[in-house]
């Protein structure tokens, strides 16, 4: 199997690898050391190295040095608290932590990586350990390898205009790594803004650097769509992932960028990249269950989606195991329903809200509300109720200023009553200026 470095060196030498606010780098600017024989000596244990790096160029350089030579690379989000990082490092058996953070005890800087334990590196297939979002408690660790992570990376060397991929995800997370790998190995350039900046600053950065390909969660796309500076982008590829892409957001993007290809991707840290849909409609054709896209097998059982990606090496690290059946299908935990020749996503089993004995998916209520003109974003949650267990609540960010809030709320309620069963109609609706998102760019539901 070819390593990260050997694949990276196939790039055209003059093609920028990445651009940030301060830098524009080519592959040569990473100053990778010459290849040398660093086979593991007899009696030595290959190194397992944790990477917690904020600078994207440092992350790429570290991956190029380690893949194919280290036994394992643990990818840790730079925003994780030191205590959580220490737990992950211990659980994964890492020998070293390489970081450009100042608050990780015992970590060494990325420039020390060249000398760090080279005698302990080996020549086998490197295990890439990625973490789930970990919004509650310790994140789970999932094992991958470069082959499984790049299964859907598409070479784009024949394009007259090289793609510039805008990065909206933290690159050590699964979705961010997919964008990074596509840019690196697809003859593109990775445009990396300050991910903590406001929407205006991020969109301005993308416009200045000619961002042509952009991947984001549906939540972030809705925020982009409400901002006038989105008009400064000339996008050729729009990708949605990480959450349910409903028809309202797909239609809004198609209206704003009529010449762009719009793709919504089903993927997860656990299952890897599952499949993509490009027909402009929410969900996926029911034919996928019997004639699936290349590289993945799927099944729908009792309204639940199961996947078996081709060549997937993903598995939980440690004693936990992914829920697989005897044929190797992974239980995604996502509920789907058949409608008009398609399967549409309802939400995850873990997110169901019990309203008087009736199970309600908050994402399904959000899908209905999002379809209403004037709604920019919505989050549906629950508050406890002694009689029925819980009642639904809805927080809505209008897409434009609202002159009469009472009339707006009444219109939303009438729309919900016309399209939802009684238990799924929110008991309270509140207009807000913004909705909180988590580190993965998804609506925070906890």
User: What is this structure's pTM?
Assistant: 0.90
56 in a structural domain: yes
Residue 268 maps to a domain: yes
Tens-place pLDDT, residues 407-419: 999 999 999 999 9
Same domain for 418 and 285?
A: no
Q: 3-class secondary structure for 337-398?
A: EEECCEEEEEEEHHHCEEECCEEECHHHHHHHHHCCCCEEEEEEEEEEECCCEEEEEEEEEE
- Indicate whether 425 belongs to any domain: yes
Q: Which of 295, 317, 348 is the last residue of a domain?
A: 348
- State the CATH number of the domain containing residue 37: 3.40.50.980
Res 16: pLDDT = 93
Choice between 153 and 8, residue whose per-residue pLDDT is larger: 8
Q: Do residues 339 and 363 share a domain?
A: no
Residue 209: what pLDDT? Answer: 96
Q: Calculate mean pLDDT across residues 248-266.
A: 96
Return the CATH number at 383.
Answer: 3.30.300.30
What is the predicted pLDDT for the residue at 437?
87
372-396 tens-digit pLDDT: 999 999 999 999 988 888 999 999 9
* pLDDT of 229 strictly over 70: yes
Which of 354, 370, 353, 371 shows the shortest CA–CA distance to 362?
Answer: 353
Two tokens, residue 146 = 């470069």
CA-CA distance, 301 to 373, in Å (whole number)?
35
What pLDDT, in 10s, does the model give residues 182-202?
Answer: 999 988 999 999 988 999 999
The answer to whether residue 174 is domain-embedded is no
Tokens of 49: 């190295």
Query: For residue 232, what pLDDT band results from cuts at 50, 70 and 90?
Result: very high
- The first and second tokens of residue 270, run together, are 């656990």
Task: Supply the range of the domain harboring residue 357.
Answer: 352-431
Confidence of residue 49 (pLDDT cuts 50, 70, 90): very high
- How many structural domains compose the chain? 3
| Torsion 75-80-86-88 (CA) sign | negative
Q: Of 314, 348, 382, at which residue does a domain stop?
A: 348
**Does residue 103 fall inside a structural domain?**
yes
Residues 397 and 328 in one domain: no
For residue 285, tell me if it sits in a domain. yes
Instruction: Identify the CATH number of the domain in which residue 319 sits.
Output: 3.40.50.12780
**Domain identity same for 335 and 381:** no
Q: Which two tokens stand for residue 6?
A: 């050997």
Give the lowest-confidence range in 126-135, 201-210, 425-434: 126-135
| Residues 273 and 334 both lie in one domain | yes
Among the candidates 348, 373, 397, a domain finishes at: 348
216 and 275 in a single domain? The answer is yes
């Amino acid at each position: 199997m070819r390593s990260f470095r050997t694949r990276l060196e196939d790039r055209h030498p003059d093609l920028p690898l990445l651009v940030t606010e301060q830098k524009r780098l080519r592959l040569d600017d990473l100053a990778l050391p010459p290849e040398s024989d660093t086979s593991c000596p007899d009696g030595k244990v290959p190194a397992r190295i944790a990477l917690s790096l904020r600078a994207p160029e440092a992350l790429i350089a570290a991956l190029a040095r380690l893949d194919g030579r280290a036994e394992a690379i643990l990818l840790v989000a730079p925003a994780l608290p030191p205590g959580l990082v220490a737990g992950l490092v211990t659980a994964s058996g890492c020998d070293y932590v390489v970081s450009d953070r100042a608050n990780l005890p015992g970590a060494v800087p990325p420039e020390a990586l060249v000398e760090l334990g080279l005698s302990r590196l080996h020549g086998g297939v490197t295990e890439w350990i990625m973490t789930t979002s970990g919004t509650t408690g310790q994140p789970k660790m999932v094992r991958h390898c470069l082959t499984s992570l790049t299964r859907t990376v598409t070479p784009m060397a024949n394009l007259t205009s090289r793609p510039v991929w805008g990065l909206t995800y933290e690159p050590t997370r699964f979705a961010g790594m997919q964008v990074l790998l596509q840019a690196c190995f697809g003859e593109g350039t990775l445009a990396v803004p300050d991910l903590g900046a406001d929407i205006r600053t991020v969109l301005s950065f993308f416009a200045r650097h000619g961002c042509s390909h952009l991947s984001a969660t549906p939540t972030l796309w809705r925020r982009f769509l409400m901002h006038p500076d989105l008009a400064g982008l000339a996008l050729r590829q729009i990708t949605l992932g990480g959450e349910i892409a409903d028809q309202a957001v797909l239609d809004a993007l198609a209206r704003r960028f009529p010449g762009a290809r719009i793709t919504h991707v089903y993927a997860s840290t656990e299952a890897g990249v599952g499949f993509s849909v490009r027909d402009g409609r929410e969900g996926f054709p029911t034919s996928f269950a019997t004639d699936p896209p290349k590289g993945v097998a799927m099944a729908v059982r009792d309204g639940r989606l199961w996947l078996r990606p081709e060549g997937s090496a993903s598995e939980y690290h440690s004693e936990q195991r992914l829920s697989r059946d005897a044929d190797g299908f992974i239980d995604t935990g996502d509920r789907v329903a058949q409608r008009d020749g398609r399967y549409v996503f309802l939400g995850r089993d873990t997110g169901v809200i019990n309203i008087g004995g009736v199970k309600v998916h908050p994402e399904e209520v959000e899908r209905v509300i999002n379809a209403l003109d004037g709604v920019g974003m919505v989050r549906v949650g629950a508050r406890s109720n002694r009689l029925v267990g819980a009642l639904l609540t809805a927080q809505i960010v209008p897409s434009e200023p609202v002159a009469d809030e009472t009339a707006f709320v009444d219109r939303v309620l009438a729309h919900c009553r016309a399209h939802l069963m009684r238990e799924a109609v929110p008991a309270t609706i509140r207009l807000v200026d913004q909705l909180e998102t988590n580190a993965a760019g998804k609506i925070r539901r906890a």
